[in-house]
Structure 1
Amino acid sequence: MEVALFKGIRQEILKELDQAQTHIRAAVAWFTNWDLFDKLCEQASAGKRVELIVIDDFINNGDWGLDFQRFIDLGGHLYYGDPHHPMHHKFCVVDDHTLFNGSYNWTYYAESKNVENTIKVKGNQPLIKQFIEEFDALREKLEKRDTAIKRDFNNLSLIDLFSVRNYLAFDLLSRGQQERSLKPVEVATRTLPKNSIIEQAYRRLTEEVIRKKTITNLGVKAVVNGVQDRLFVQIPKGEQVPFEHTHYFRTVHDNQTKVSVETYKGQYEDCKYNEKIGSFLVADLPKKPAEQTGVHITFSLDKDGILKVVATNADTGGSMEVIYDVEALVF
């Protein structure tokens, strides 16, 4: 079976990667897509043999790119192509019986900007065997990496013969638009300054992000209605950001001098079923009867999903502040 794919290529590759039983071979010149990367990491972590060959350049190894070290640490086999003979392949073989081959790089740029194609092949073993042999021949000439390369954006040459800056900038723009995230688009504006398309997209996305809402409840572990270890919600799910809320928490024991401020996200009343974000200790409360002192706790969540938690001593006015950069807090 051979099928030509012109749309939905990423979804089709993801489906086959998800069904892999033993072995994945991928040789792709440029690789920036986190969905495909996370699937490779998942399969490597599950004990599948996952082999990946990519080019070593700023598109793949820039300091904003994929975490190839995580792939290695999870058991993935990473190889960088020969710099003197750049590998321009874009093919993947799954379990020796499914092949994807075409123009499609595993990037946001390829998916969102370019017109691409890939052919999916199943059952044509003579053809698939040729691609396996090509992959194995490439791999045998390369060194398996124990440490991934990370390249500093500031070292990207201003002499850009192969339009790396252009590709990087629009790949990051496409990623930011797809994920509704400002961070990749901010990097795109630095990668390709004064580009009117990117500047306009950044302004539009900024306006949209300002209207983002929280995706889950945010709060602290507390005694609620006499029950311990409950989630006291400081910022409810669905609140438009930026948002800020302060609540006064009183001590529950006589002469209590310490309060642990434990921050959680989730939808459950019982904190053990929610996800802990972090904690810190306020340890300078005066010795007083229960409920006669305490802390004011303020939650501030901005449009980029940055959460600031401030605990202020009700008696002294002293405060402690912790900032959490937690993904998937807003949408």
Structure 2
Amino acid sequence: MIRRALPIIAILLQSSLTFARSHTPTVPPPTLGQEVARVVVEAGAQAIADKLSRPAIPPDAEIEVAFSPVPQGRALRLVQKAISSATATIHMAAYTFTSKPVADALIRAAARGVRVYVVLDAKANSPYDDKSKIAYLRDAGVNVCANSRYPVMHNKFAIIDGKHVETGSFNYSYAAEARNAENVIVVWNMPDLAAKYDQQFELLASQCD
């Protein structure tokens, strides 16, 4: 009895499969509105991710700017102010470094117990170049290293106490102070921003000769 029923069951199953295949609903392509909605959602998600990766802005954060060559000396004074505010650490990366006033500010910071570390472009700061302050800083006990990894290591920034950042176009040189059109910006009390600069500083320092 069971053997006679097997062919019939097989026919019924085959018929059911054929019916199911012929009646499977076709998914229509997305409409223009649906596609726009998808793009908007993805863009919104990316915007949220980008916002979360941006440095947080504390309520006590402040920004100071100065320019050179006019008013004379203001840009240099802002750099000195940032250095003089240090109580724990200064991490500085620089291209040309021929400014004795900036070098003296770093030396004074080191003398009062601040841990000062400087990374300079190797090509622009030969220890045999009288204009560069690399030897002057080293002789005063400041930790200085030279980075030759790049055609030009063109950074000009300092991280102060892990929470303030001084940067801008201003090279630490007399030309930047007195002749060139330059800018200095100091962002006070922004540890998240300082941490991003510190990551780059650590990379540059690890590449020193």
Q: TM-score, normalised by structure 1?
A: 0.40
Query: How far apart, CA to CA, are the structure 1 residues paired with 2:124 and 2:92?
Result: 19
Query: How far apart, CA to CA, are the structure 1 residues paired with 2:181 and 2:79?
Result: 17
CA positional deviation for 1:60? 5.6
CA positional deviation for 1:68? 3.1
CA positional deviation for 1:105? 0.1
Deviation sequence 1:246-300 (CA, Å, 0-9, x none)? xxxxxxxxxxxxxxxxxxxxxxxxxxxxxxxxxxxxxxxxxxxxxxxxxxxxxxx
Give the aligned partner of residue 103 of structure 1.
169
Q: For the structure 1 residues 63 and 30, does the alpha-carbon distance in structure 2 shift closer, same or farther, using more than 3 Å as the test?
A: closer
Q: Note if 1:48 corresponds to 2:109.
A: no
Query: How far apart, CA to CA, are the structure 2 residues paired with 1:52 and 1:2?
Result: 23
Q: For the structure 1 residues 58 and 4, does the alpha-carbon distance in structure 2 shift closer, same or farther, using more than 3 Å as the test?
A: closer
Q: For the structure 1 residues 62 and 9, does the alpha-carbon distance in structure 2 shift closer, same or farther, using more than 3 Å as the test?
A: farther
Preserved CA contact (<8 Å) 1:29 1:88: yes
Unmatched 5+ residue regions in structure 1?
Answer: 144-331
Q: Note if 1:5 corresponds to 2:66.
A: yes
Give the match's secondary structure for 1:117. strand
Structure possessing the higher relative contact order (Cα contacts under 8 Å, 6 or more residues apart) = 2
Q: TM-score, normalised by structure 2?
A: 0.62
Unmatched 5+ residue regions in structure 2?
Answer: 1-61, 69-73
Query: How far apart, CA to CA, are the structure 1 residues paired with 2:132 and 2:150?
Result: 23
Query: How far apart, CA to CA, are the structure 2 residues paired with 1:79 and 1:94?
Result: 18
CA positional deviation for 1:23? 0.5
Give the aligned partner of residue 121 of structure 1.
187
Give the aligned partner of residue 160 of structure 2.
94
Query: How far apart, CA to CA, are the structure 2 residues paired with 1:104 and 1:90?
Result: 7
Give the match's secondary structure for 1:126. helix
**Which has the larger share of strand?**
1
CA positional deviation for 1:75? 2.8
Equivalent residue for 1:37, pick from 103, 119, 129: 103
Alignment of 1:1-331 (within 5 A): 1-7=62-68, 8-57=74-123, 61-143=127-209
Is the radius of gyration larger for structure 1 or structure 2?
Answer: 2
CA positional deviation for 1:61? 4.1
Q: For the structure 1 residues 58 and 89, does the alpha-carbon distance in structure 2 shift closer, same or farther, using more than 3 Å as the test?
A: closer
Give the aligned partner of residue 26 of structure 2.
none
Preserved CA contact (<8 Å) 1:32 1:60: no
Deviation sequence 1:147-170 (CA, Å, 0-9, x none)? xxxxxxxxxxxxxxxxxxxxxxxx
Runs of 4+ deviating beyond 6 Å: none
CA positional deviation for 1:131? 0.5
Q: For the structure 1 residues 10 and 142, does the alpha-carbon distance in structure 2 shift closer, same or farther, using more than 3 Å as the test?
A: same
State the superposition RMSD in angstroms.
2.0
Give the match's secondary structure for 2:154. coil
Give the aligned partner of residue 3 of structure 2.
none
Q: For the structure 1 residues 58 and 28, does the alpha-carbon distance in structure 2 shift closer, same or farther, using more than 3 Å as the test?
A: closer
Residue type at the aligned position of 1:129: A
**Which has the larger share of helix?**
2
Give the match's secondary structure for 2:182. coil
Give the match's secondary structure for 2:119. strand
CA positional deviation for 1:28? 1.0
Give the aligned partner of residue 325 of structure 1.
none
